[in-house]
Chains A and B, each alone.
Chain A
Amino acid sequence: MDKGYTGKILNVNLSTGDISEESIPDGVYERFLAGMGLGAYILNRDIPANADPLGPDNVLGFVAGILTGTGSLFTGRWTVVGKSPLTGGWGDANCGGMLAPAIKRCGYDGIFIRGCSDTPVYLEIKNGKAAIHAADDLWGKDAVETEAILTERCRKKKIPRVACIGTAGENRSLISGICTDKGRIAARSGLGAVMGAKKLKALVFTGTRKIMPQDREEMHRLSRKCNRWASLQIPFVSGSMMGKIGALMRMLPTQMAMDGMLFKIMLSKWGTTSMNQMSVEMGDSPIKNWKGTNKDFDANRSRTVDPDIFRQCEIVKYHCYSCPIGCGGICATSGKFSETHKPEYETVLALGGLCLNEDADSIFYLNELLNRAGMDSISAGGTVAFAIECFEKGLITKDDTDGLELSWGNTDAIVALIEKMIRREGIGDLLADGSKAAARKIGKGAQHFAMHAGGQELPMHDGRCDPGFAVHYAAEPSPGKHTVGAQMYYEMYRLWKKIKSLPKPDMVYFKGRKYVADEAKAISAAACSKYMNVLNGTGTCIFGAFLGADRLPLFDWINAATGWAKTPEEYLAIGEEVQTLRQSFNIKHGIDPRQNIPGPRVTGQPALSTGANKGRSVDLETMIRDYWQQFDWDPSNGHPRPEVMPPPVDPLTGTTQV
């Protein structure tokens, strides 16, 4: 029966060379969906509690969503899952490009890699078959070079799609990711190091199988309806005005509930760089390793990251698979690299305002360098900012930095430091595993300057501006990620339009209300997490979700693709079970969820004395307790209570074992 998913995964053991197919019962998909939910099911089942993340017992999964390839829109995200060497617990990262449907075209919903090879290898997968090949000639090459070679080598008729690591993953940098499509990267959780430890340079997908939804006509009808919203574009202000809008938002005592259509219009025009100056001005972007303010990176200094500058470099807009927006772009650059994917907002501000670097050329260069090396630009920027502050405080000196003058905004030193991190050379070796690991080695109180949650560097959204970010950074099974929830995200998801029991935000409210811990915020935060698990189970992009649940027919698409008849409430219940499954993984692996709570600077304790977030502090302790309570986990420690733990799955039917 056509139902959107393949019902099979491929298990590959690199220690033994064994390759085997495994049928996954329908009941598993009905309980966890595919994508990250399927990954959570397999990893919970198969990774032993004491597994070394960089050892043979770790399982690295490449999974595609249940909606990918079914005629739905925004469903081109693939996810990589594994035990994170960066946080020690549940790890996931997702990415766009063209890889997601290629996984399913090979006949699988996921590829799960076990064991470790003694020598470098790559895996070629095609239509229900797979082979392990030697990759000695590829080891040491960057991600773009590797992809080009393998695309040429493995092409039959259809162009293969490639996921690979760069040199950062080979060097087992704990802040490395996995790349596709000339430098797009599933960057978070340090899973590039897991692939490097397995000596797996790449996966090549050459499948040609059809992906069949149950009701293609209905899929297309829903997609056409959704596209009417996605294609709506009105003339909008210039890039330089965005900073002024941010400044206005900073000055007003009130704010409006965000409608994602506005964000969609910005994304269509500039991509995520639309937020650059606006975020700095309104206090959304952390500055100077979270101790500075918008005044330290004022409009004059941030003018170099005006969104129009990035747009002017754009040769062509880049669309991920099945995306009608095209927030990406291919930019022409000068210097060592002739072109690069348009730097994302996170990259620009992590390498910009967080380090007070106002040189846009260096950001273009580092963007391409990090993409090719396969190193997470958020963690790289966060770690550099940490190092600069350590240098400022005298915890490290020029003797430690190989002579680099690590001062704020010193572009040459920032570039040189990241080059060293990629090569694990000198001070770069110390920093290549992120700020938490580096702080432990430096000692002398350096941990106070490492801005991370559970070891993962924090993204460029400040919880002192939107406390929802702080909650999700601290309390998620995969900490330190900005792609799950926030108060602003809840407003854009518009879930109350589909699920009447969820609270509807006020149209206009005083900013002070954001900091009050109440039940509505806890319900909203938990709804964000559940919804994101559904999005990640279907392979859907968060930017599609920002259109709003009444404009993105996610639940209807799933029903049309699978033939199910589930309600939105039932899908959110699936999201809740996946959340508990991921948290259970953490508990099984000895993670104390409270250790993921970031340091006091991040929550404004003490509060900043000036700038956009002046006087703002977040009662994170209460908000996290309330959030965990929503899942019926123990609010004092985040442990799922035994009665809410997902019951075992019957391996034959996929149904619940009673």
Chain B
Amino acid sequence: MKTENSLIPAFIRKKCMACKICVDDCPVSCIGVEASGTGKDPHGYPFLEDETLCIHCGQCAENCPVAAIQMAAA
């Protein structure tokens, strides 16, 4: 349940490998993958697709191998 102090994942693009571990980890599938890239950076990066679904569990941040997700205030 969302409260005033609930944290949501913030993605640090510079660190992200686009490996989708967080996409799989999310128990409510609120993390999506960008459907298109850019010429310089063509990877499909994860992003918080639907904030209303987020249960603020922090699994994505905990399990990211390269610490590219931080739980932050919404």
Chain B 38-59: CB-based contact to A (< 8 A → 1; otherwise 0)? 0000111000000001000001
Query: Once the chains bind, are A319 and B20 in contact (CB under 8 Å)?
Result: yes
Chain A residues contacting B37 (CB-CB under 8 Å) are 314-317
Residue tally, chain A, CB below 8 Å to B: 35
Complex contact B65–A319 (CB within 8 A) = no
Q: Does A71 contact B (CB under 8 A)?
A: yes
Q: Is A326 an interface residue (CB 8 A)?
A: yes
B6 to chain A, nearest CB (A): 17
Residue of A with least CB distance to B53 = A157
User: Chain A residues near B72 (CB, 8 Å)?
Assistant: none
Interface bits A292-329 vs B (CB < 8 Å: 1, else 0) = 00000000000000000000001111111111101001
Interface secondary structure of B, over-half rule: loop
Give residues 55-74 of B contacting A (CB, 8 Å): 59, 63, 65-67
Complex interface residues of chain B between 16 and 40 (CB less than 8 A to chain A):
17-21, 23-24, 26-29, 34-37
Contact of B43 among A219, A227, A317 (CB under 8 A): A317
Number of A-B contacts (CB under 8 A): 81
A321 vs B20: C-alpha distance when bound (angstroms): 5
Q: Evaluate whether A71 and B26 lie within 8 angstroms (CB atoms) in the complex, with A230-B17, A317-B44, A322-B20 already known.
A: no
Q: Report whether A231 and B17 are in contact in the complex, using a CB–CB cutoff of 8 Å.
A: yes
Number of interface residues of B (CB under 8 A): 24
Closest residue of chain A to B26 (Cβ to Cβ) is A158
Q: In the complex where A71-B65, A157-B53, A224-B66 touch, is A102 in contact with B44 (Cβ < 8 A)?
A: no
Which A residues lie within 8 Å of B67 (CB)?
220
How far apart are the CA atoms of A319 and B44 in the complex, in Å?
Answer: 8
| Cβ–Cβ contact B43 & A157, under 8 A | no
> In whole angstroms, what is the CA distance A158 to B23 when docked?
10
B34 CB contacts on chain A under 8 angstroms: 316
If A158-B26, A220-B65 touch, does A316 touch B17 (CB 8 Å cutoff)? no
Task: Pick from B29, B36, B63: contact of A158, CB below 8 A.
Answer: B29
Q: Is A223 an interface residue (CB 8 A)?
A: yes
Residue A554 lies at the interface, judged by CB distance under 8 Å to chain B: no
Distance in Å: Cβ of A173 to nearest Cβ of chain B: 31
Chain B, Cβ-Cβ closest to A208: B27
A87 → chain B closest CB, angstroms: 33
Interchain Cβ contacts under 8 Å between A and B, 17 examples = A73-B65, A98-B20, A157-B29, A158-B27, A158-B28, A158-B29, A216-B63, A224-B65, A227-B66, A314-B42, A315-B35, A316-B42, A317-B42, A319-B20, A323-B20, A324-B19, A329-B42
- Contacts A71-B21, A157-B28 known; 19 new A-B pairs at CB < 8 A: A73-B17, A98-B20, A101-B24, A105-B24, A157-B27, A157-B29, A158-B28, A208-B27, A220-B67, A223-B66, A224-B65, A314-B37, A314-B42, A316-B42, A318-B44, A319-B19, A319-B43, A322-B21, A326-B43
